[in-house]
Structure 1
């Protein structure tokens, strides 16, 4: 049975699911929801984009008592971005349940507003292990009422060094609880590390392979010194509007970005150890099309939900076949077609053989020579340019205020304005590159304050804010 109506859910809950477009369960939902709704612990192997958030979201909402204002469900995620996505989806799923409060607790955000929100109570807390443990240490978060504990992307939380935090947090949850563990990969070391968290769990594995009709995979053999130039050549030949390039190390990420930028491509590197503010800015620039190429390590890219990604390039072959499958699954989403391009040096062929064994057939090899001649031409600039405004939620700025200033004072048409991201202290606005500087000048002219030392001010909502362009 793949219909949600086959589950023991209320009519109001089912009506909300239908309104959200949830009509038929995905494989991970069909396999995991029946045991979850029976109260069983669960280990589920499923990748991002498989519908896993709804799988555990419906399960934990089923257990929440809206009349009891305590933290009844805790969801731990590896990154701030994934925590925000999960919380937003839980709020959508909970629309039919009166007064359910979902609170996000992640690093990179001020503690004081989080503490104030916790004082008012929350039914569901979604957060990163480090910040959750901080709140426990300050005694601002009480886990004694947790009925459902979710570990989302458990393998990456462990890879990122969160295991000790997770173990300490799990110890503080009641022993009589339901634990749901979701992971794209589930190697033996993770299995042993998480064994103590679960009681007689049901195990569900959803096949991670992708249909060839959805994602076209091409492999290119290269020499040891050709890798970075080959990436540039692939980008010039296929001209993807947006692409993620995966490297196995942060050192290679930085080196490759330098090479690509020297050849005129708009590229940014995403790897571990970046400050949250830097990470936020990089992701905003990539998502709003002010940067076309994101060069990332696997750990740093985990939890990203980038829409309309045309291509994935593996600058290095992954030594883990499931990681390879997870990488390429970021393109060809939602029934669309995608392109996966993998570069392979002679010493990496053994890892390609493992991919062939995993997918049950040979990979499709292509010669680099079939690409357009490697001319010295540069990449095209990104279509958007991001305006950074030194004001955000703390200044009570909203996207509508910014859009109003741009279509009013700056005289822009709505179609020239892209995504508007409002953070605590800063706001990022994507503007059509062709008219961005004119819009900047008009906003500055509307301000009553003259800029000092090259900085400019713009008028928004009757107030003046410092602003600058971020060009990649």
Structure 2
């Protein structure tokens, strides 16, 4: 079975799939959807970007009755970014289901709005274990009507210390629920989690697609790593690259060094407040930032389609983390390139990675005496409009204000990201000032707005 049309899905879900041009299933979808739609518990091992969100999304939506009361499906994720991504996909898949309410509950924001929204419980809840447990402790979130529980990126949740929170949450859910567990790797803790909370789960392992990713290793000592990365990125000139560091300090130092060398680089780590974090991710996703430097935890949930290059500033502490890193590129059958800088003291870490590769790591030389090529500026520039969803400002309103007689061509407008009080719009760099002038002197949805360049 390879086509979604062959699955026992509702007309609303099949129509939504057709409108999204989802026809052929990915390997993880083809393997996991039949048992999930049959009501079986499933433990699936598949790398990030393999289509797992649509797989469990269709399974849980097929069991949702928007007319019924209570929370019917719950998806637990390790980070807010992944939770937001999952919720967006569920809303896309369920766009034709009447009155479907999908809510996201994650930490880092005040609890009060979440408590207020649960006065009318959604059919589907997506969130991080800490905030979900907090809402349950407050008595605001009940799982009496739960039909499906999903643990997404379960290995990362265990790594982040969420085991007790997960146990507390599932311990209050009906015993006859369906439990779906998705993980990119399968450490011992995942097996224990499945044994505790699942009923005779079907185990599905999708062959690692990392063969589409070319891996290169370079011997570079710490004092020259920034120089090496500048050279590599200068030679490759990718439109975007994600660079992983092992510590927050390394992230900031490397980001500063790349900026000094002319790269449009931004840092992503745990010391950023939520607004700064949102803006970094928006700029990387819309092409107005070329290089994102991040810690592993901070980068969880980042899903950039067509990301061509991933770089490890320092080798990951174990093979599973390395697998997660390189899984950010080479998605959906596209080729990817993963580069790793390895200091002498890190050489012992290469052994489990080589075992995972099934061959010796191929080390290449890099001439650090060369000067790096001058980096090209990003193709896009981000503008910030000080109005958002609470002002009922929609992407179509922004496009309408920018186009028309004397305005921009639609092709000059990139991604538009709406937040409650602000909207970010990517504009071709050569057209950014024209867009600024048009928004400042004209009207957006019939009123004047404040607008500024970001970065």
Please indicate, yes or no, whether the TM-score normalized by the shorter chain is above 0.5: yes
Q: Residue 421 of structure 1 aligns to a residue in which SS?
A: strand
Change (3 A) 1:198 1:273: farther
Match of 2:454 in 1: 470
Counterpart CA distance in 1 for 2:152 and 2:287 is: 28
1:397 matched to 2:393: yes
Q: Residue 332 of structure 2 aligns to a residue in which SS?
A: coil
Structure 1: 5+ residue runs without aligned partners? 448-458
Change (3 A) 1:245 1:391: same
Which of these residues, 215, 240, 243, is aligned with residue 238 of structure 2? 240
Q: Residue 325 of structure 1 aligns to a residue in which SS?
A: helix
Counterpart CA distance in 1 for 2:417 and 2:58 is: 28
Which of these residues, 319, 338, 347, is aligned with residue 317 of structure 2? 319
- Deviations for 1:15-62, whole angstroms, at most 9, x for unmatched residues? 654554444433322332333233332222222211211222222233
Match of 1:450 in 2: none
Which of these residues, 284, 287, 296, is aligned with residue 286 of structure 1? 284
Q: Residue 434 of structure 1 aligns to a residue in which SS?
A: helix
Counterpart CA distance in 2 for 1:25 and 1:343 is: 36
Match of 2:142 in 1: 142
Asked whether the 8 Å contact 2:210–2:330 carries over to 1, the reply is no
* Aligned residues: CA RMSD: 2.7
- Deviations for 1:181-219, whole angstroms, at most 9, x for unmatched residues? 1111232245446643333333222232422xx322222
Asked whether the 8 Å contact 2:288–2:382 carries over to 1, the reply is yes
Deviation at 1:222, TM superposition (A): 1.7
Change (3 A) 1:93 1:402: closer
Change (3 A) 1:294 1:438: same
1:33 matched to 2:29: no
Change (3 A) 1:430 1:8: closer
Deviation at 1:8, TM superposition (A): 4.3
1:177 matched to 2:177: yes
1:383 matched to 2:379: yes
Asked whether the 8 Å contact 1:394–1:425 carries over to 2, the reply is yes
Match of 2:130 in 1: 130
Counterpart CA distance in 1 for 2:398 and 2:4 is: 41
Asked whether the 8 Å contact 1:109–1:424 carries over to 2, the reply is no
Deviation at 1:3, TM superposition (A): 4.5
Deviation at 1:12, TM superposition (A): 6.2
Deviation at 1:144, TM superposition (A): 0.8
Deviation at 1:261, TM superposition (A): 0.7
Asked whether the 8 Å contact 2:158–2:189 carries over to 1, the reply is no
Asked whether the 8 Å contact 1:103–1:125 carries over to 2, the reply is yes
Asked whether the 8 Å contact 1:387–1:431 carries over to 2, the reply is yes
Asked whether the 8 Å contact 1:208–1:322 carries over to 2, the reply is no
* Structure-1-length-normalised TM-score: 0.87
Report matched runs for 1:346-361 at 5 Å.
Answer: 346-361=344-359
Q: Residue 313 of structure 1 aligns to a residue in which SS?
A: strand
Counterpart CA distance in 2 for 1:81 and 1:41 is: 26
Asked whether the 8 Å contact 2:71–2:143 carries over to 1, the reply is yes
> 167-176 vs 16-25, which deviates more?
16-25
Counterpart CA distance in 1 for 2:405 and 2:416 is: 17
* Structure-2-length-normalised TM-score: 0.90
Counterpart CA distance in 1 for 2:163 and 2:95 is: 33
Asked whether the 8 Å contact 2:266–2:291 carries over to 1, the reply is yes
Q: Residue 403 of structure 1 aligns to a residue in which SS?
A: helix
- Deviations for 1:257-289, whole angstroms, at most 9, x for unmatched residues? 011011111111112343222211100011111
Change (3 A) 1:440 1:93: closer
Counterpart CA distance in 2 for 1:16 and 1:409 is: 34
Change (3 A) 1:251 1:194: farther
Deviation at 1:172, TM superposition (A): 1.9
Match of 1:257 in 2: 255
Counterpart CA distance in 1 for 2:414 and 2:11 is: 38
Structure 2: 5+ residue runs without aligned partners? none
Which of these residues, 438, 444, 448, is aligned with residue 460 of structure 1? 444
Report the count of equivalent residues.
Answer: 455
- Deviations for 1:35-92, whole angstroms, at most 9, x for unmatched residues? 3233332222222211211222222233333442321111111222322222232233
Counterpart CA distance in 1 for 2:377 and 2:66 is: 50
Deviation at 1:225, TM superposition (A): 2.4
Deviation at 1:377, TM superposition (A): 5.2
